[in-house]
Amino acid sequence: MNRHHPILVIGGTGKTGRRVAAKLAAAGHVVRATSRSGPFVFDWNDPAGWAAILQGVQAAYVTYQPDLAVPGSEAAIAAFTKQAAVAGIRHLVLLSGRGEPEAAACEAIVQGSGLHWTILRANWFMQNFSETFFVEGIRAGELALPAVDIPEPFIDADDIADVAVAALTDIGHTGQVYELSGPRALTFAEAVAEIAAATGREIRFSPVPIDAFAEGLRAYGLPEDMIALVRYLFTTVLDGRNSETRDGVLRALGRAPRDFADYAQGAAGVWAPALRAAQG
């Protein structure tokens, strides 16, 4: 490991990517954190642009968009691993999702690339509630989702980032598949109750039939392929297959993953002002 050779972080402004980039930089590593707009540009839809950003890179944290389960992901990951090998990258750390056969096919491509690899196979992120998909519902006091009563052991993006940094900087994690869950499985209703407790506010969870939810997304203007992805995630992936907790964080870092209640306490400031304004 040479601290002066850059480590590439694809999706470097995303929920895990920006944490990985910040932790690497704090540890003194040179980081190329990408997004589709500068200063370091990487777009999965523009393979012609990849060679420049890969130059001189020693290791890469690879997050695919929008999800390894979508059509085209295998071809993209295959093309990327080829270019990475040509560029002389030694180690790929792939962020994958638990319980997705299509993601497993992409993992197999990385595992067969001839490069050093580590796979991080994650449950749903806690930060979906505070940084992206669910944040506006929580702020409005009602989260309406097509989620049945299936418990999910949500994982903190900071724990994923800690494992990614370890894998990118310590050769000892080569060849490991880490299944990364939080310490406790919660239904969406229970997760919302934890956030209500952390904010001291009322927040409702309202289950919605999947077809009605999809229709709402369509009316909102979401493209059909993204609606199909949402449907897949809330029906096929959220069917109980990922409800058991996993010990990947403990195996990789020698410590327990963060609990949802601690996450909700830490993120309460994201939701509380809007809830206070609405509820008085």
* Interface residues toward ligand NAP, by CB under 6 A: 11-17, 35-37, 42-45, 63-65, 67-68, 95, 97, 122, 124-125, 128, 132
Query: Would you say 6 and 53 are in contact if contact means Cβ atoms under 8 Å apart?
Result: no
Least distance (Å) from ligand NAP to the CB of residue 3?
23
When CB distances to ligand NAP are compared, the closest residue is: 14
Which phi and psi angles does 86 have, rounded to 5°?
A: -60, -40
Task: Name which of 65 and 265 has its Cβ closer to ligand NAP.
Answer: 65
Least distance (Å) from ligand NAP to the CB of residue 97?
4
Least distance (Å) from ligand NAP to the CB of residue 181?
11
DSSP-assigned letters across all residues of 220-243 = TT--HHHHHHHHHIIIIISSSTT-
Task: Name which of 46 and 202 has its Cβ closer to ligand NAP.
Answer: 46
Task: Name which of 153 and 201 has its Cβ closer to ligand NAP.
Answer: 153
Other Cβ atoms closer than 10 A to 5: 15
Task: Name which of 179 and 198 has its Cβ closer to ligand NAP.
Answer: 179
Task: Name which of 53 and 201 has its Cβ closer to ligand NAP.
Answer: 53
Task: Name which of 161 and 268 has its Cβ closer to ligand NAP.
Answer: 161
Which phi and psi angles does 258 have, rounded to 5°?
A: -75, 140
List helix spans (H) across the chain: 17-26, 50-54, 73-87, 101-111, 135-140, 157-169, 188-199, 210-219, 224-232, 248-253, 260-279
Least distance (Å) from ligand NAP to the CB of residue 200?
26
Name the residue with tokens 């994201």.
270
Which phi and psi angles does 243 have, rounded to 5°?
A: -75, -25
What are the distances in angstroms from CA 218 to CA 140, 146, 253? 21, 15, 42
Least distance (Å) from ligand NAP to the CB of residue 69?
7
Least distance (Å) from ligand NAP to the CB of residue 89?
17
